[in-house]
């Protein structure tokens, strides 16, 4: 069927069948494009799953091969880690104790300083100071760990050896101090976001009782911040 314009109007002819066919063709092409996009997204998601499965498989297979030559009791209780020596020892205890000790030193520095920085940026710092300091903290968190290691070895360790002359070149103290500096941005950023996420109604209510920011931080901040603070500490310890 075709429609003809009435007399006196510009003569135009419209073919409804042609319009319908064009719409159907456009709809089919759009469906194919959506299916292609869905397939690409599914493939991207599957890559992460397969990579995770591959990592787990390699770890399990290599662990089984390792424990065929070394007993689990020796691995857990031996106090030496010398896999390249003639008299090889594979004791994980020394590595585990060093990791826990350096992490304790780092968290002892990062958690108090990071929380104090977050309180200052959220409650006391002017807007311009906050806008300048926050990007610098984020930039500090993006520095590679090898740079921190070089800084600890070349600067922090000689500085500590002036105070403790018998301190060896490779020590846990300098590693823990620099690790604490490294994870301060994580603690401060997450804590500051948690403080600024407190509803304004709670802030106004606490200000009505105690109209000073120091009183609010001392009385109300710990209870409101506790759930998120543990998340920031866990993330910092993982780092």
At 118-169, the pLDDT tens digits run 888 877 888 888 888 888 887 877 788 888 888 888 888 888 888 888 888 8
3-class secondary-structure state, position 197: coil
- Residue 115 and residue 216 in one domain: yes
State in Å, rounded, how far the first CA of the chain is from the last one. 72
- Residue 153 and residue 59 in one domain: no
- Residue 56 and residue 157 in one domain: no
What are the C-alpha distances in Å from 56 to residues 49, 52, 71, 167, 228?
11, 6, 21, 40, 30
- Residue 33 and residue 99 in one domain: no
- Dist CA 205 CA 31 (whole Å): 54
- Residue 137 and residue 100 in one domain: yes
pLDDT score recorded for residue 1: 44
Chain-centroid distance of CA 236 in Å reads 8
Residue 87 in any domain: the answer is: no
Is 168 in contact with 158 (CB distance < 8 Å)? Answer: no
Is 180 in contact with 103 (CB distance < 8 Å)? Answer: no
Residue 218 in any domain: the answer is: yes
- Dist CA 91 CA 96 (whole Å): 9
pLDDT digits over 186-216, tens only? 888 877 777 777 666 666 665 666 555 555 5
Residue 55 in any domain: the answer is: yes
> Bridge partners of 58?
none
- Residue 130 and residue 221 in one domain: yes
Residue percentage of the chain with pLDDT more than 90: 8
- Structural domain including 46 reads 14-67
User: pTM, whole model, 2 decimals?
Assistant: 0.65
pLDDT digits over 26-35, tens only? 677 778 888 8
Residue 27 in any domain: the answer is: yes
Q: Domain count of the chain?
A: 2
Strands (E), the chain: 3-4, 13-14, 81-82, 89-90
Residue 219 in any domain: the answer is: yes
């Amino acid at each position: 069927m075709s429609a003809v314009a009435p007399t006196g109007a510009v003569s135009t002819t419209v073919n409804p069948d042609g319009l319908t066919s064009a719409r159907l063709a456009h709809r089919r092409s759009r469906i194919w494009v959506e299916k292609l996009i869905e397939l690409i997204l599914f493939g991207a998601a599957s890559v992460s799953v397969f990579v995770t499965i591959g990592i787990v498989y390699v770890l399990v297979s290599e662990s089984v091969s390792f424990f065929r030559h070394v007993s689990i009791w020796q691995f857990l209780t031996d106090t030496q880690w010398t896999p390249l020596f003639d008299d090889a020892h594979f004791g994980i205890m020394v590595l585990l104790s060093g990791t826990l000790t350096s992490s304790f030193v780092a968290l002892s520095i990062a958690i108090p300083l990071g929380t104090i920085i977050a309180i200052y940026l959220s409650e006391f710092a002017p807007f311009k100071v906050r806008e300048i300091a926050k990007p610098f903290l984020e930039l500090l968190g993006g520095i590679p760990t090898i740079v921190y290691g070089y800084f600890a070895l070349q600067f922090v360790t000689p500085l500590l050896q002036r105070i403790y002359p018998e301190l060896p070149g490779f020590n846990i103290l300098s590693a823990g101090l620099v690790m604490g500096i490294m994870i301060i941005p994580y603690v401060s950023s997450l804590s500051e976001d948690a403080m600024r996420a407190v509803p304004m109604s709670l802030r106004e209510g606490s200000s009505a009782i105690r109209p000073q920011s120091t009183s609010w931080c001392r009385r109300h901040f710990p209870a409101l911040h506790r759930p998120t603070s543990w998340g920031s500490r866990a993330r910092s310890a993982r780092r």
